């Protein structure tokens, strides 16, 4: 079957591209090798890591003025529209909250605050940091979250002595579990009641409860509302270590959205090469573990990520893009070449593909290589998401623009 748009890669930017393209009347195929970045995402959308109360677009504009190669220089025109689109697409399952055009502050699983632009409603309440008495709840069976550590760090940050306390509940399970498993257990009435009874007995005068993000796999709204009624205090979730439930909720919300709009999603398939001719990509070849398959399309979105996902391979001056063999800008990691912890960032993080204003890949002289290929997300050169804290924002904006232009 011939498709109007073939999206290669099922991370955040790939799903957003696959979600936007049907609005433009396109027939879309999404090819996914694995789960993408979602198990590693907090569920929040970061535009720039400036402080809470500051406008991230001001910092973005400064960065673009100083570095014309930064991805935000190609995406600034769709930033606001892309964020609105994501909120609408996820709304039935993940409700997002923001504070106008400013960053908000959310608590982390270490008990220290961090800025973000938009957070799931379950992870943010205005004024949470001023709560008089906070109770941090954990689970004996879930060892990737320490309520005592969270409470201690909250007290250090807030400077209020013992204003935050902790409790560890016990579901009576004989093994340790990860966050998704715990989320599914709490959807069962037996474990839910056991947790609520123990937590209610320890509430005291607490005015806010913080707990790991494990209140249901699809949506936390119903369970959190029930819990708040019983406890007589609001409850906030904290994003956890991978596999992250909020990240998986975001994936499930976007997957439902694209399927409802006729997008064909093919999982567990690895795109290995592309057929190109005269500056046009004609098809991609993929391996599903049983056979090689060929998919023809009019446009292609390359959303295969960076080094971690195999979107780039190699090191030093030998970094390659393995699907379309596009020229890679920048230098990969070389042992001992840079300090591992560098507050100013590391050059190998900026490795990627150069693109024009429409996200077409270009060479080092700015010449378009394939005018029906669009590059998104972590593949874009010039960004250091570890320092800038803008990776999810770039993913959403670039996926949206690729879906719009393809």
| Model pLDDT, residue 330 | 83
**Same domain (yes/no): 228, 152:** yes
Residue 214: give the domain boundaries: 126-233
**Same domain (yes/no): 223, 262:** no
Mean pLDDT by groups of 10 residues along the chain of 406 residues: 93 98 97 92 96 93 92 97 97 91 95 95 93 96 97 89 90 95 95 96 94 91 91 95 96 97 97 94 95 96 94 85 94 62 72 96 95 97 91 98 97
Mean pLDDT of the chain, nearest integer: 93
The set of residues, in sequence order, having a beta carbon less than 8 Å from that of 178 and lying 6+ positions away, is 142, 144, 243
Q: What is the model's pTM?
A: 0.95
In a domain, residue 27? The reply is yes
In a domain, residue 301? The reply is yes
Query: What CATH number corresponds to the domain at position 263?
Result: 3.50.50.60
Do 202 and 230 contact (CB within 8 A), yes or no?
Answer: no
How long a stretch of residues is the chain? Answer: 406
Q: Cα separation of 254 and 248, whole Å?
A: 10
| Model pLDDT, residue 196 | 96
| Model pLDDT, residue 348 | 77
**Parallel, antiparallel, or unpaired: how do β-strands 280-287 and 292-302 relate?**
antiparallel
pLDDT tens digits for range 207-259:
999 999 999 998 788 899 999 999 999 999 999 999 999 999 999 999 999 99
| Model pLDDT, residue 337 | 63
**Same domain (yes/no): 267, 386:** yes
| Model pLDDT, residue 333 | 60
- Burial of 205 from C-beta contacts in 10 A (0-12 / 13-18 / 19+): exposed
**Parallel, antiparallel, or unpaired: how do β-strands 113-116 and 118-120 relate?**
unpaired
Q: Cα separation of 162 and 251, whole Å?
A: 38
In a domain, residue 93? The reply is yes
Structural Rg of the chain based on CA atoms: 22
| Model pLDDT, residue 6 | 98
**Same domain (yes/no): 252, 162:** no
User: Total domain count for the chain?
Assistant: 2
**Same domain (yes/no): 212, 343:** no
**Same domain (yes/no): 312, 350:** yes
Q: Cα separation of 305 and 4, whole Å?
A: 22
pLDDT tens digits for range 322-337:
999 999 998 766 555 6
């Amino acid at each position: 079957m011939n498709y109007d748009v073939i999206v290669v890669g099922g991370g955040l930017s790939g799903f957003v591209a696959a979600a936007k393209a049907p609005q433009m009347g396109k027939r879309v195929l999404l090819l996914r090798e694995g789960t993408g970045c979602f198990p590693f995402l907090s569920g929040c959308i970061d535009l720039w890591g400036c402080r809470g109360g500051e406008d991230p677009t001001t910092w973005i504009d400064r960065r673009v003025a100083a570095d014309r190669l930064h991805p935000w220089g190609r995406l600034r025109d769709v930033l606001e529209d892309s964020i609105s689109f994501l909120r609408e697409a996820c709304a039935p399952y993940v409700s997002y909250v923001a504070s106008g055009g400013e960053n908000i502050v959310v608590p982390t699983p270490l008990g220290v605050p961090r800025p973000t632009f938009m957070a799931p409603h379950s992870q943010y309440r205005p004024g949470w940091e001023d709560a008089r008495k906070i109770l941090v709840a954990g689970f004996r069976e879930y060892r990737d979250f320490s309520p005592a550590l969270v409470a201690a760090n909250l007290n250090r940050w807030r400077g209020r002595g013992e204003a935050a306390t902790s409790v560890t509940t016990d579901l009576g399970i004989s093994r340790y579990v990860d966050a998704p498993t715990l989320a599914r257990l709490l959807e069962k009435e037996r474990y839910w009641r056991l947790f609520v009874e123990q937590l209610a007995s320890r509430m005291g005068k607490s005015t806010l409860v913080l707990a790991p993000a494990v209140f249901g796999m699809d949506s936390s709204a119903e369970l959190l509302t029930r819990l708040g009624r019983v406890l007589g205090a609001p409850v906030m979730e904290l994003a956890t270590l991978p596999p992250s439930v909020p990240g998986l909720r975001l994936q499930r919300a976007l997957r439902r959205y694209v399927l409802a709009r006729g997008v064909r999603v093919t999982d567990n398939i690895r795109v290995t090469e592309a057929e190109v001719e005269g500056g046009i990509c004609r098809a991609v070849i993929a391996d599903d573990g049983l056979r090689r398959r060929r998919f023809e399309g009019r446009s292609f979105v390359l959303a295969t990520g960076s080094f971690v996902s195999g979107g780039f391979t190699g090191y030093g001056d030998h970094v390659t893009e393995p699907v379309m063999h596009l020229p890679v800008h920048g230098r990969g990691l070389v042992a001992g070449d840079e300090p591992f912890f560098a507050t100013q960032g590391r050059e190998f993080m900026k490795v990627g593909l150069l693109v024009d204003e429409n996200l077409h890949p270009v060479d080092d002289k700015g010449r378009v290589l394939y005018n029906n290929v669009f590059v998104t997300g972590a593949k874009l050169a010039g960004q250091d998401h570890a320092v800038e804290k803008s990776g999810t924002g770039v993913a959403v904006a670039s996926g949206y623009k690729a879906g719009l232009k393809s």
